[in-house]
Amino acid sequence: MFRASDFKYKEVINIADGQCLGFVFDMELDEETGKIESLVVPGREKVKFFHKVDGIVIPWTCIKKFGEDTILVDLP
């Protein structure tokens, strides 16, 4: 079992192309069940003052494996 805070220390890697997507900075939950629907990692854009940072939303169905230090996902 994982705690929500554990996710921010795991690096997300896309197995489709081997690209490192970054570390989880947010997640979307189903309000009724409390289950995680998706993880969010930062987008390619740099963080700037007064600028909203958009992220890459990774649906739970695309998550393939949780490792000790990484989360493997399969994004097209």
Provide the percentage of residues in the chain whose pLDDT is more than 70. 83
Task: Kindly list the domain boundaries of the chain, sorted by start residue.
Answer: 4-73
Amino acid identity, position 50: F
How many whole angstroms separate alpha carbon 30 and alpha carbon 35?
Answer: 5
For domain 4-73, give the CATH number: 2.30.30.240
Q: How confident is the model at residue 52 (pLDDT cuts 50, 70, 90)?
A: low
Judge whether residue 24 has pLDDT over 60: yes
